[in-house]
Amino acid sequence: MSTAKFFSENYQEARLRFVEAASLLKANLKSFTLPKILAPDGSELCIDTAWVGRADAKVILLCISGTHGPEGFCGSAAQLQTLTDGSIDNLPEDVAVLFIHALNPYGFAYMSRYNENNVDLNRNWINFDDIPKTSALCQELNSLLPPIDKFNEQHFNKALQSLAKLLEKHGGLAVENALGAGQYSIPEGLGYGGKEREWSSVILAEILSSLNPRTQKIAYLDWHSLVRSGTDDMVYLCFNKTDDPLFKRCASWWGDHNIRTEAVAEKWNKGLGREGGRPERHGLVMWGVQDATQACQEVAGGVVEFTDQPLEPLLQKLENMRAMLLSRYFAHNRDLSSEYNQSLYLQSRELWAPSDQSWRELQLQHAQRIFNATLNGAAIWANETSDVETNNE
Ligand SMILES: [Zn+2]
C-alpha cells in the first residue's frame, strides 16, 4: 500500500484531498474560513466538514482531525482512508458520520499544536467565569522559555537544558501537569487555554447546534498523534467518567483493557518517559461537544493517539519539550520562507507524523480497525435507541 496518498505533505494538500474524497462520496460538505490569516501558499485556512448519511440519524459518529494542528497529518490520513476504503459506503441503519477536518487549520498549516493565538484548543472549553489558577511550577516553567521575537538554536538548547533540570527536580508527572493541564494567565507561554472561546471552538459549537433533534447519541473519535508507547496498538483516552454507563459503551468499542485508567497511565508514562498517574486536564474539546449538544444527546468516546516506539526516557522527555517549544515558535512566526524556519518545519513534521513507510502502514491498519469498531458500536447503539417522542399537539 502506498501511504503517500493518505499522508499529505502539508495542510493545503490534506484539505484538497479531503474535500475531493468527500465530494466523490456525495457527502454534504461545508467550509468555515478563518478570518484574516491565510495559509503559507496564500490560500484560505478552513475547517471543512463532511456529513455522510441521513441528516436525521439517531446516532452520529463524530470524527475530528487536527485539534492539535500538525497532529492533523495523522488524523487527516485516517479520515481520508475511511472516506476511500469502503468503510462508510453502506452505513448502518440510522447512523451518520460527521467528519471535521482540521479543527485547528492555522496550526496544521503552520506546524503548531497551538492555534493562531497560541491557544491549545483542547484546553479552551473551560468556564471562563471560573478560571483555574496557574501553579507556581507552571509559572517557573514558562519563565525559562526563549524569547518569542529573537529565537535561535542556542535559545532552544538553553531552554531545553533548564527544562531538563526542572524535570529532574520535580519529576515528570508534576512537570507534565504544569505544562499540559492548561494555563490561563500567560498568553505567550506553553499550554495556554485562552481568555475566551477561540474561533475554532465557536465554529465547533455552531456545527453541533444544527444537529437534527432526532439525533440522540454521539460517538466521538478525535484523532491525535503521537505517543511513544509502542506500536502494537494506539492509545485510547476515553473522557467519560469511569462510573458513567457511557464509559462502558466506549469500552465495548475500544476494549475495556485499553481504556481503563491504569492501562492508559501505563502507556502514557512509557510514551512520555515518566512515572506517575494520569495527568490533569482542563477544557477538553469533548467537554465542549457535550456542552454544545442538547441535554437529550449523549456523547461517548475520546481521543485516540497514533503511537511510535519508545525512546530512552530522558530523550523522550526532551523531545516532548522540543515539540512544545516548536509549537510555540510557529504559533508566533508565520514566515516559513527562511532556511532556518523550513528546517524547523520539516523537523516538526517528522515529530508529529514520521515519514517511515512501514510505520505509516501499521498505523493506518490500526486506524481502520478502530474506526470500524466505533462505527459498529454506533450501529448497535442506534438499534438500542428508541425514537424521540414527538409532540403531536
Ligand atoms: Zn493532541
Spatial contact of 143 and 178, defined as CB atoms under 8 Å apart: no
Whole-number Å distance, alpha carbon 322 to ligand 1 midpoint, is: 15
Residue 178 within a domain: no
Residue showing cell 497532529: 71
Whole-number Å distance, alpha carbon 306 to ligand 1 midpoint, is: 10
| pTM (predicted TM-score) | 0.95
**Structural Rg of the chain based on CA atoms:** 20
Whole-number Å distance, alpha carbon 71 to ligand 1 midpoint, is: 6
Question: For every one of its 393 residues, what pLDDT tens digit does the chain have, with 9 covering 90 and above?
Answer: 788 899 999 999 999 999 999 999 999 999 999 999 999 999 999 999 999 999 999 999 999 999 999 999 999 999 999 999 999 999 999 999 999 999 999 999 999 999 999 999 999 999 999 999 999 999 999 999 988 866 788 888 888 889 888 888 888 788 888 888 899 999 999 999 999 999 999 999 999 998 998 999 999 999 999 999 999 999 999 999 999 999 999 999 999 999 998 888 888 877 777 666 677 789 999 999 999 987 678 999 999 999 999 988 878 878 888 888 999 999 999 999 999 999 999 999 999 999 999 999 999 999 999 999 999 999 999 999 887 654 444
DSSP 135: P
Residue 169 within a domain: no
Residue 111: phi and psi, rounded to 5, are: 65, 45
Whole-number Å distance, alpha carbon 225 to ligand 1 midpoint, is: 6
Q: How far is CA 315 from CA 154, 164, 228, 311, 350, in A?
A: 18, 10, 11, 6, 16
Spatial contact of 198 and 187, defined as CB atoms under 8 Å apart: no
Residue 335 within a domain: no
- Enclosing H/E stretch for 227: strand 217-227
Between CA 390 and CA 154 the distance in angstroms is 66
The number of domains in the chain is 1
Question: Would strands 28-38 and 44-52 be described as parallel, antiparallel, or unpaired?
Answer: antiparallel
Whole-number Å distance, alpha carbon 94 to ligand 1 midpoint, is: 30
- What is residue 150's predicted lDDT score, i.e. its pLDDT? 65
Please provide the DSSP assignment of 260-324 as one string: SHHHHHHHHHHHHT--SSPPP--S-HHHHHHHHS-TT-EEEEEEEEEE-----HHHHHHHHHHHH
Residue 188 within a domain: no
CATH classification at residue 102 = 3.40.630.10
Between CA 53 and CA 45 the distance in angstroms is 26
Whole-number Å distance, alpha carbon 254 to ligand 1 midpoint, is: 18
Whole-number Å distance, alpha carbon 248 to ligand 1 midpoint, is: 23
Residue 65 within a domain: yes
Q: Which residues contact 194 (CB under 8 A, 6 or more apart)?
A: 117, 119, 123, 124, 184
Please provide the DSSP assignment of 51-107 as one string: EES-TT-SEEEEEE--TTGGGHHHHHHHHHHHHHSSTTTSPPTTEEEEEEE-SSHHH
Spatial contact of 13 and 20, defined as CB atoms under 8 Å apart: no
Whole-number Å distance, alpha carbon 48 to ligand 1 midpoint, is: 19
Residues 3-14, buried b or exposed e (16+ Cβ, 10 A)?
beebbbebbbeb
3-state secondary structure of 34: strand
- What is residue 387's predicted lDDT score, i.e. its pLDDT? 77
Residue of 98, 123, 91 whose CA lies nearest to 299: 98
Whole-number Å distance, alpha carbon 305 to ligand 1 midpoint, is: 7
Whole-number Å distance, alpha carbon 91 to ligand 1 midpoint, is: 28
Residue 59 within a domain: yes
Whole-number Å distance, alpha carbon 293 to ligand 1 midpoint, is: 22
Quote the cell numbers at residue 359. 510505520
Whole-number Å distance, alpha carbon 133 to ligand 1 midpoint, is: 23
Residue showing cell 509549537: 327
Between CA 98 and CA 229 the distance in angstroms is 29
Q: How far is CA 229 from CA 176, 266, 307, 369, in A?
A: 16, 9, 6, 19
Residue 92 within a domain: yes
Between CA 80 and CA 6 the distance in angstroms is 6
Structural domain range at position 374: 3-130+197-312+354-384
Whole-number Å distance, alpha carbon 181 to ligand 1 midpoint, is: 13
Residue 304 within a domain: yes
Whole-number Å distance, alpha carbon 67 to ligand 1 midpoint, is: 7
